Amino acid sequence: MDMNILINGVYVIVAALFIMGLKLLGHPSTARKGNLISSIAMLTGVIVTLLDQAIVSYELLLVSMLIGSIVGAYAAKKVAMTSMPELVSLFNGIGGLASVGVAWASLMTDGISSFVVFVSFLALVIGGVTFSGSLLAWGKLSERIAGRPLVFKGQIIVNVAVLTVMVAGGTQLLNSPQSSDIQWLIFVTALVLGLLVVMPIGGADMPVVISLLNSYSGIAACAAGFALQNNLLIVAGALVGASGIILTNTMCKAMNRSLKNVLVSGFQKVTSNSITLEGEIKPISADDAYYILEAAQSVVVIPGYGMAVAQAQHAMKELQVLLENNGAEVAYGIHPVAGRMPGHMNVLLAEADVSYEQLFEMDEINPRIDGFDVAIVIGANDVVNPAARDMEGSPIYGMPVINADLANTVFVLKRGMATGFAGVDNPLFFKENTRMIFGDAKETLNGIIRQFAD
Protein backbone atom coordinates (compact mmCIF):
# COMPACT_ATOMS: atom_id res chain seq x y z
CA MET A 1 0.00 0.00 0.00
CA ASP A 2 1.19 3.51 -0.84
CA MET A 3 2.55 5.16 2.31
CA ASN A 4 0.78 8.45 1.51
CA ILE A 5 -2.61 6.70 1.31
CA LEU A 6 -1.98 4.91 4.61
CA ILE A 7 -0.96 8.08 6.42
CA ASN A 8 -3.91 10.11 5.15
CA GLY A 9 -6.23 7.24 6.10
CA VAL A 10 -4.88 7.37 9.65
CA TYR A 11 -5.30 11.16 9.56
CA VAL A 12 -9.01 10.71 8.82
CA ILE A 13 -9.39 8.38 11.82
CA VAL A 14 -7.44 10.77 14.06
CA ALA A 15 -9.58 13.71 12.91
CA ALA A 16 -12.71 11.73 13.75
CA LEU A 17 -11.29 11.01 17.22
CA PHE A 18 -10.61 14.73 17.68
CA ILE A 19 -14.25 15.50 16.92
CA MET A 20 -15.40 12.74 19.26
CA GLY A 21 -13.11 14.09 21.98
CA LEU A 22 -14.53 17.60 21.57
CA LYS A 23 -18.04 16.20 21.80
CA LEU A 24 -17.22 14.38 25.03
CA LEU A 25 -15.67 17.56 26.46
CA GLY A 26 -19.12 19.13 26.25
CA HIS A 27 -20.26 17.50 29.51
CA PRO A 28 -18.39 17.22 32.83
CA SER A 29 -19.18 13.51 33.20
CA THR A 30 -17.41 12.65 29.93
CA ALA A 31 -14.79 15.42 29.80
CA ARG A 32 -11.95 13.28 31.16
CA LYS A 33 -12.63 10.57 28.59
CA GLY A 34 -12.77 13.19 25.83
CA ASN A 35 -9.43 14.63 26.89
CA LEU A 36 -7.85 11.15 26.90
CA ILE A 37 -9.21 10.28 23.45
CA SER A 38 -7.97 13.57 22.00
CA SER A 39 -4.53 13.10 23.55
CA ILE A 40 -4.19 9.57 22.17
CA ALA A 41 -5.34 10.81 18.76
CA MET A 42 -2.73 13.56 18.75
CA LEU A 43 0.05 11.17 19.76
CA THR A 44 -1.02 8.79 16.99
CA GLY A 45 -1.00 11.64 14.48
CA VAL A 46 2.51 12.71 15.51
CA ILE A 47 3.88 9.15 15.27
CA VAL A 48 2.34 8.53 11.84
CA THR A 49 3.61 11.88 10.55
CA LEU A 50 7.15 11.01 11.60
CA LEU A 51 7.02 7.85 9.47
CA ASP A 52 6.70 9.85 6.28
CA GLN A 53 9.08 12.75 6.85
CA ALA A 54 12.82 13.27 6.62
CA ILE A 55 13.62 13.64 10.30
CA VAL A 56 16.86 15.28 11.39
CA SER A 57 17.11 13.26 14.61
CA TYR A 58 14.59 10.85 16.10
CA GLU A 59 16.64 10.87 19.28
CA LEU A 60 16.22 14.64 19.65
CA LEU A 61 12.47 14.34 19.07
CA LEU A 62 12.11 11.58 21.65
CA VAL A 63 14.07 13.58 24.22
CA SER A 64 11.92 16.63 23.49
CA MET A 65 8.69 14.61 23.87
CA LEU A 66 9.96 13.13 27.14
CA ILE A 67 10.87 16.56 28.54
CA GLY A 68 7.51 17.98 27.47
CA SER A 69 5.64 15.07 29.05
CA ILE A 70 7.50 15.47 32.35
CA VAL A 71 6.92 19.23 32.46
CA GLY A 72 3.25 18.82 31.55
CA ALA A 73 2.63 16.08 34.11
CA TYR A 74 4.41 18.05 36.84
CA ALA A 75 2.50 21.24 36.05
CA ALA A 76 -0.87 19.46 35.96
CA LYS A 77 -0.20 17.68 39.25
CA LYS A 78 1.34 20.53 41.23
CA VAL A 79 -0.64 23.55 40.06
CA ALA A 80 -3.14 24.86 42.60
CA MET A 81 -6.76 25.08 41.49
CA THR A 82 -6.60 28.84 42.01
CA SER A 83 -3.75 28.95 39.47
CA MET A 84 -5.46 26.82 36.83
CA PRO A 85 -6.56 29.85 34.73
CA GLU A 86 -2.96 31.09 34.59
CA LEU A 87 -1.77 27.62 33.53
CA VAL A 88 -4.34 27.46 30.73
CA SER A 89 -3.27 30.90 29.57
CA LEU A 90 0.38 29.82 29.49
CA PHE A 91 -0.53 26.69 27.51
CA ASN A 92 -2.30 28.90 24.96
CA GLY A 93 0.82 31.03 24.68
CA ILE A 94 3.08 28.00 24.21
CA GLY A 95 0.78 26.77 21.44
CA GLY A 96 1.11 30.11 19.68
CA LEU A 97 4.90 30.06 20.07
CA ALA A 98 5.03 26.56 18.56
CA SER A 99 3.20 27.86 15.47
CA VAL A 100 5.73 30.69 15.26
CA GLY A 101 8.53 28.11 15.21
CA VAL A 102 6.85 26.15 12.41
CA ALA A 103 6.31 29.31 10.38
CA TRP A 104 9.91 30.39 10.82
CA ALA A 105 11.21 26.99 9.71
CA SER A 106 8.92 27.02 6.67
CA LEU A 107 10.17 30.44 5.60
CA MET A 108 13.77 29.21 5.67
CA THR A 109 12.99 26.48 3.12
CA ASP A 110 14.29 27.05 -0.40
CA GLY A 111 11.89 27.55 -3.31
CA ILE A 112 8.66 27.97 -1.33
CA SER A 113 5.56 29.28 -3.08
CA SER A 114 3.88 32.63 -2.42
CA PHE A 115 1.00 30.75 -0.77
CA VAL A 116 3.32 29.10 1.74
CA VAL A 117 4.92 32.48 2.46
CA PHE A 118 1.48 34.01 3.06
CA VAL A 119 0.25 31.30 5.45
CA SER A 120 3.62 31.34 7.22
CA PHE A 121 3.18 35.08 7.67
CA LEU A 122 -0.27 34.46 9.20
CA ALA A 123 1.12 31.81 11.53
CA LEU A 124 3.94 34.14 12.55
CA VAL A 125 1.55 37.01 13.28
CA ILE A 126 -1.26 35.10 15.00
CA GLY A 127 1.19 32.93 16.93
CA GLY A 128 3.09 36.00 18.13
CA VAL A 129 -0.12 37.78 19.16
CA THR A 130 -1.25 34.66 21.03
CA PHE A 131 2.08 34.28 22.82
CA SER A 132 2.46 37.83 24.14
CA GLY A 133 -1.28 38.25 24.76
CA SER A 134 -1.34 35.03 26.79
CA LEU A 135 1.65 36.13 28.85
CA LEU A 136 -0.09 39.42 29.66
CA ALA A 137 -3.30 37.56 30.51
CA TRP A 138 -1.24 35.29 32.78
CA GLY A 139 0.15 38.37 34.51
CA LYS A 140 -3.33 39.81 35.07
CA LEU A 141 -4.79 36.52 36.26
CA SER A 142 -1.93 35.94 38.71
CA GLU A 143 -2.26 39.59 39.83
CA ARG A 144 1.38 40.30 39.01
CA ILE A 145 -0.10 43.01 36.77
CA ALA A 146 -3.13 45.15 37.63
CA GLY A 147 -6.32 43.47 36.47
CA ARG A 148 -7.98 46.76 35.51
CA PRO A 149 -8.02 47.91 31.86
CA LEU A 150 -4.66 49.46 30.93
CA VAL A 151 -5.12 52.29 28.46
CA PHE A 152 -3.09 55.29 27.39
CA LYS A 153 -3.63 58.35 25.27
CA GLY A 154 -3.20 57.70 21.57
CA GLN A 155 -3.57 53.93 21.92
CA ILE A 156 -5.63 53.64 18.74
CA ILE A 157 -2.95 55.51 16.78
CA VAL A 158 -0.30 53.14 18.12
CA ASN A 159 -2.43 50.13 17.15
CA VAL A 160 -2.84 51.41 13.60
CA ALA A 161 0.90 52.14 13.34
CA VAL A 162 1.80 48.63 14.51
CA LEU A 163 -0.63 47.07 12.02
CA THR A 164 0.77 49.22 9.22
CA VAL A 165 4.33 48.12 9.97
CA MET A 166 3.20 44.51 10.14
CA VAL A 167 1.41 44.62 6.77
CA ALA A 168 4.38 46.37 5.20
CA GLY A 169 6.65 43.66 6.57
CA GLY A 170 4.36 40.98 5.17
CA THR A 171 4.52 42.59 1.74
CA GLN A 172 8.30 42.60 1.85
CA LEU A 173 8.29 39.01 3.07
CA LEU A 174 6.72 37.90 -0.23
CA ASN A 175 9.77 39.22 -2.03
CA SER A 176 12.38 38.08 0.49
CA PRO A 177 10.93 35.19 2.53
CA GLN A 178 14.32 34.18 3.97
CA SER A 179 15.22 37.62 5.24
CA SER A 180 15.74 37.27 8.99
CA ASP A 181 15.41 41.04 9.48
CA ILE A 182 11.90 41.05 8.01
CA GLN A 183 10.94 37.93 9.94
CA TRP A 184 12.07 39.50 13.20
CA LEU A 185 10.26 42.74 12.38
CA ILE A 186 6.99 40.87 11.86
CA PHE A 187 7.45 38.76 14.97
CA VAL A 188 8.25 41.74 17.22
CA THR A 189 5.31 43.76 15.91
CA ALA A 190 3.08 40.71 16.49
CA LEU A 191 4.28 40.56 20.10
CA VAL A 192 3.53 44.25 20.54
CA LEU A 193 0.09 43.84 18.99
CA GLY A 194 -0.70 40.95 21.35
CA LEU A 195 0.07 43.19 24.33
CA LEU A 196 -2.02 46.03 22.88
CA VAL A 197 -4.98 43.69 22.34
CA VAL A 198 -5.06 42.38 25.93
CA MET A 199 -4.04 45.58 27.77
CA PRO A 200 -7.42 47.37 27.56
CA ILE A 201 -9.36 44.29 28.68
CA GLY A 202 -10.44 44.31 32.31
CA GLY A 203 -9.99 41.45 34.74
CA ALA A 204 -13.70 40.61 34.77
CA ASP A 205 -13.42 39.70 31.09
CA MET A 206 -10.48 37.31 31.55
CA PRO A 207 -12.57 34.13 31.00
CA VAL A 208 -13.51 35.50 27.58
CA VAL A 209 -9.89 36.43 26.86
CA ILE A 210 -8.68 32.92 27.68
CA SER A 211 -11.17 31.28 25.32
CA LEU A 212 -10.36 33.85 22.60
CA LEU A 213 -6.61 33.27 22.91
CA ASN A 214 -7.27 29.54 22.78
CA SER A 215 -9.03 30.14 19.47
CA TYR A 216 -6.08 32.22 18.25
CA SER A 217 -3.69 29.37 19.04
CA GLY A 218 -5.85 27.02 16.96
CA ILE A 219 -5.98 29.42 14.00
CA ALA A 220 -2.20 29.84 14.17
CA ALA A 221 -1.79 26.05 14.15
CA CYS A 222 -4.13 25.79 11.17
CA ALA A 223 -2.04 28.34 9.25
CA ALA A 224 1.10 26.40 10.20
CA GLY A 225 -0.58 23.27 8.85
CA PHE A 226 -1.08 24.92 5.48
CA ALA A 227 2.56 25.99 5.53
CA LEU A 228 3.64 22.39 6.14
CA GLN A 229 0.93 21.01 3.84
CA ASN A 230 -0.10 18.71 6.68
CA ASN A 231 -3.80 17.83 6.60
CA LEU A 232 -3.98 16.71 10.22
CA LEU A 233 -2.52 19.94 11.59
CA ILE A 234 -4.96 21.91 9.43
CA VAL A 235 -7.92 19.95 10.82
CA ALA A 236 -6.72 20.06 14.43
CA GLY A 237 -6.05 23.79 14.27
CA ALA A 238 -9.40 24.48 12.64
CA LEU A 239 -11.23 22.48 15.33
CA VAL A 240 -9.48 24.35 18.15
CA GLY A 241 -10.03 27.69 16.44
CA ALA A 242 -13.71 27.06 15.76
CA SER A 243 -14.48 25.63 19.20
CA GLY A 244 -12.68 28.57 20.84
CA ILE A 245 -14.71 31.08 18.85
CA ILE A 246 -17.96 29.26 19.73
CA LEU A 247 -17.06 29.26 23.43
CA THR A 248 -16.06 32.92 23.27
CA ASN A 249 -19.38 33.82 21.66
CA THR A 250 -21.30 31.79 24.25
CA MET A 251 -19.53 33.57 27.11
CA CYS A 252 -20.09 36.99 25.56
CA LYS A 253 -23.80 36.20 25.36
CA ALA A 254 -23.71 35.14 29.02
CA MET A 255 -22.39 38.64 29.81
CA ASN A 256 -24.79 40.33 27.36
CA ARG A 257 -21.84 41.94 25.64
CA SER A 258 -20.41 41.78 22.16
CA LEU A 259 -16.89 40.56 21.51
CA LYS A 260 -16.08 44.00 20.11
CA ASN A 261 -17.16 45.56 23.40
CA VAL A 262 -14.96 43.16 25.37
CA LEU A 263 -11.93 43.89 23.20
CA VAL A 264 -12.15 47.68 23.07
CA SER A 265 -13.45 48.58 26.51
CA GLY A 266 -13.19 47.50 30.11
CA PHE A 267 -15.52 47.92 32.99
CA GLN A 268 -15.45 51.57 34.00
CA LYS A 269 -16.51 53.28 37.19
CA VAL A 270 -20.18 54.07 37.72
CA THR A 271 -20.91 57.50 36.31
CA SER A 272 -24.56 57.88 37.24
CA ASN A 273 -25.14 59.92 40.41
CA SER A 274 -28.60 58.38 40.76
CA ILE A 275 -27.19 55.03 41.89
CA THR A 276 -27.18 54.67 45.66
CA LEU A 277 -26.90 51.59 47.84
CA GLU A 278 -29.63 51.49 50.45
CA GLY A 279 -29.90 49.35 53.56
CA GLU A 280 -27.27 48.15 55.97
CA ILE A 281 -24.98 45.16 56.30
CA LYS A 282 -26.33 42.39 58.56
CA PRO A 283 -23.45 40.09 59.58
CA ILE A 284 -24.04 36.79 61.38
CA SER A 285 -21.81 34.03 62.68
CA ALA A 286 -21.44 30.50 61.35
CA ASP A 287 -23.21 29.25 64.49
CA ASP A 288 -26.28 31.38 63.74
CA ALA A 289 -26.24 30.31 60.10
CA TYR A 290 -26.39 26.68 61.22
CA TYR A 291 -29.84 27.12 62.81
CA ILE A 292 -31.26 28.49 59.56
CA LEU A 293 -29.65 25.75 57.46
CA GLU A 294 -30.77 23.07 59.89
CA ALA A 295 -34.40 24.08 59.23
CA ALA A 296 -33.98 24.54 55.44
CA GLN A 297 -35.64 22.15 53.02
CA SER A 298 -33.86 23.45 49.91
CA VAL A 299 -30.44 25.08 49.47
CA VAL A 300 -28.76 26.47 46.37
CA VAL A 301 -25.01 27.04 46.36
CA ILE A 302 -23.57 29.73 44.06
CA PRO A 303 -19.75 29.49 43.89
CA GLY A 304 -17.26 32.04 42.63
CA TYR A 305 -13.53 32.65 42.50
CA GLY A 306 -13.43 33.13 46.27
CA MET A 307 -14.26 29.45 46.68
CA ALA A 308 -11.16 28.60 44.67
CA VAL A 309 -9.02 30.94 46.77
CA ALA A 310 -10.29 29.42 50.03
CA GLN A 311 -10.18 25.86 48.62
CA ALA A 312 -13.65 25.47 50.12
CA GLN A 313 -15.11 23.01 47.62
CA HIS A 314 -14.40 19.92 49.74
CA ALA A 315 -15.91 21.52 52.85
CA MET A 316 -18.98 22.48 50.81
CA LYS A 317 -19.35 18.89 49.61
CA GLU A 318 -19.18 17.71 53.23
CA LEU A 319 -21.83 20.23 54.23
CA GLN A 320 -23.94 19.17 51.24
CA VAL A 321 -23.99 15.57 52.49
CA LEU A 322 -25.04 16.71 55.97
CA LEU A 323 -27.83 18.87 54.56
CA GLU A 324 -29.09 16.02 52.39
CA ASN A 325 -29.01 13.63 55.35
CA ASN A 326 -31.09 16.25 57.16
CA GLY A 327 -33.70 16.05 54.39
CA ALA A 328 -32.76 19.13 52.35
CA GLU A 329 -32.36 19.35 48.58
CA VAL A 330 -29.00 20.84 47.55
CA ALA A 331 -28.30 22.29 44.11
CA TYR A 332 -25.46 24.34 42.62
CA GLY A 333 -26.00 27.34 40.36
CA ILE A 334 -23.09 27.86 37.97
CA HIS A 335 -22.66 31.12 36.09
CA PRO A 336 -20.83 30.77 32.72
CA VAL A 337 -18.16 33.32 33.68
CA ALA A 338 -17.82 32.50 37.39
CA GLY A 339 -14.14 32.21 38.25
CA ARG A 340 -11.35 33.21 35.91
CA MET A 341 -11.55 30.67 33.13
CA PRO A 342 -14.33 28.83 31.28
CA GLY A 343 -15.69 26.00 33.44
CA HIS A 344 -13.61 27.00 36.49
CA MET A 345 -16.37 26.20 39.01
CA ASN A 346 -17.23 22.91 37.30
CA VAL A 347 -13.61 21.79 37.63
CA LEU A 348 -13.48 22.73 41.33
CA LEU A 349 -16.72 20.93 42.18
CA ALA A 350 -15.75 17.87 40.14
CA GLU A 351 -12.54 17.71 42.17
CA ALA A 352 -14.71 17.56 45.30
CA ASP A 353 -16.78 14.76 43.73
CA VAL A 354 -20.00 16.78 43.55
CA SER A 355 -22.51 14.96 41.35
CA TYR A 356 -22.87 16.44 37.87
CA GLU A 357 -26.65 16.10 38.17
CA GLN A 358 -26.60 18.73 40.92
CA LEU A 359 -24.88 21.36 38.79
CA PHE A 360 -27.30 23.71 37.06
CA GLU A 361 -26.49 26.45 34.59
CA MET A 362 -27.73 29.98 35.15
CA ASP A 363 -30.71 29.63 32.81
CA GLU A 364 -31.77 26.42 34.59
CA ILE A 365 -31.48 27.67 38.18
CA ASN A 366 -32.93 31.19 37.82
CA PRO A 367 -36.55 30.15 37.09
CA ARG A 368 -36.70 28.20 40.36
CA ILE A 369 -34.38 30.16 42.64
CA ASP A 370 -37.24 31.93 44.44
CA GLY A 371 -38.31 28.50 45.70
CA PHE A 372 -35.10 27.87 47.65
CA ASP A 373 -35.08 28.46 51.38
CA VAL A 374 -31.39 29.43 51.43
CA ALA A 375 -28.88 30.59 48.82
CA ILE A 376 -25.22 30.25 49.85
CA VAL A 377 -22.97 32.56 47.84
CA ILE A 378 -19.36 31.42 48.24
CA GLY A 379 -16.87 34.00 47.04
CA ALA A 380 -19.02 35.13 44.11
CA ASN A 381 -19.67 38.80 43.52
CA ASP A 382 -20.28 40.14 40.02
CA VAL A 383 -22.23 37.07 38.86
CA VAL A 384 -24.86 37.57 41.61
CA ASN A 385 -24.95 41.37 41.49
CA PRO A 386 -28.60 42.53 41.14
CA ALA A 387 -27.32 45.89 39.82
CA ALA A 388 -26.91 44.11 36.48
CA ARG A 389 -30.67 43.55 36.52
CA ASP A 390 -32.02 46.66 38.26
CA MET A 391 -29.63 49.63 37.90
CA GLU A 392 -29.39 51.13 34.45
CA GLY A 393 -26.44 53.32 35.45
CA SER A 394 -24.32 50.34 36.45
CA PRO A 395 -21.47 49.39 34.07
CA ILE A 396 -22.63 45.75 34.28
CA TYR A 397 -26.29 46.58 33.59
CA GLY A 398 -27.76 44.02 31.22
CA MET A 399 -25.29 41.28 32.13
CA PRO A 400 -27.28 38.12 32.99
CA VAL A 401 -26.68 37.12 36.61
CA ILE A 402 -27.88 34.43 38.98
CA ASN A 403 -30.75 35.96 40.93
CA ALA A 404 -29.51 34.90 44.36
CA ASP A 405 -31.39 37.76 46.03
CA LEU A 406 -34.73 36.11 45.18
CA ALA A 407 -34.10 33.18 47.53
CA ASN A 408 -35.82 33.36 50.91
CA THR A 409 -32.51 33.87 52.78
CA VAL A 410 -29.09 34.61 51.30
CA PHE A 411 -25.79 33.81 53.02
CA VAL A 412 -22.81 35.59 51.49
CA LEU A 413 -19.47 34.04 52.52
CA LYS A 414 -16.86 36.70 51.96
CA ARG A 415 -13.61 37.90 53.51
CA GLY A 416 -14.60 41.57 53.46
CA MET A 417 -16.59 44.21 51.61
CA ALA A 418 -14.24 44.57 48.65
CA THR A 419 -15.79 44.76 45.19
CA GLY A 420 -15.50 41.92 42.69
CA PHE A 421 -13.16 41.70 39.72
CA ALA A 422 -15.34 44.18 37.82
CA GLY A 423 -14.82 46.79 40.55
CA VAL A 424 -18.58 47.35 40.98
CA ASP A 425 -20.42 47.63 44.32
CA ASN A 426 -22.99 44.92 45.01
CA PRO A 427 -26.46 45.88 46.36
CA LEU A 428 -27.04 42.20 47.26
CA PHE A 429 -25.01 42.72 50.44
CA PHE A 430 -27.51 45.33 51.66
CA LYS A 431 -30.72 43.39 50.93
CA GLU A 432 -33.13 42.68 53.80
CA ASN A 433 -32.86 38.91 53.28
CA THR A 434 -29.04 38.86 53.02
CA ARG A 435 -26.74 37.87 55.87
CA MET A 436 -23.00 38.38 55.56
CA ILE A 437 -20.67 35.75 57.04
CA PHE A 438 -17.22 37.32 57.03
CA GLY A 439 -14.03 35.29 57.08
CA ASP A 440 -12.36 32.46 55.21
CA ALA A 441 -15.07 30.47 53.41
CA LYS A 442 -13.50 27.10 54.24
CA GLU A 443 -13.32 27.93 57.94
CA THR A 444 -16.91 29.20 57.89
CA LEU A 445 -18.20 26.03 56.30
CA ASN A 446 -16.21 23.88 58.70
CA GLY A 447 -17.76 25.82 61.57
CA ILE A 448 -21.25 25.01 60.29
CA ILE A 449 -20.24 21.37 59.78
CA ARG A 450 -19.12 21.13 63.40
CA GLN A 451 -22.50 22.42 64.50
CA PHE A 452 -24.22 19.64 62.53
CA ALA A 453 -21.88 17.09 64.10
CA ASP A 454 -22.75 18.30 67.59
Query: Annotated catalytic sites, by residue?
Result: 382
Helix axes 155-175, 180-198, angle to 10 degrees: 150
The SS3 call for residue 303 is strand
Give the C-alpha separation, 167 to 53, whole Å. 33
User: CB burial class (10 A; 0-12, 13-18, 19+) of residue 21?
Assistant: buried
φ/ψ of residue 321, rounded to 5: -60, -40
Give the C-alpha separation, 429 to 39, whole Å. 45
**CB of 114 within 8 A of CB of 166?**
no
**CB of 330 within 8 A of CB of 324?**
yes
Give the C-alpha separation, 336 to 314, whole Å. 21
The SS3 call for residue 143 is coil
Query: Which secondary-structure segment (H or E) carries 330?
Result: strand 329-334
Closest-CA residue to 241 (of 417, 442, 99) = 99
For the chain, the farthest-separated pair of C-alpha atoms sits apart, in whole angstroms, at 80
Closest-CA residue to 62 (of 79, 43, 36) = 43
* Cα atoms found within 13 Å of the Cα of residue 417, Cβ hemisphere only: 10
Q: Residues near 435 by Cβ (< 8 Å), separated by ≥ 6? A: 282, 283, 284, 288, 289, 409, 410, 411, 412
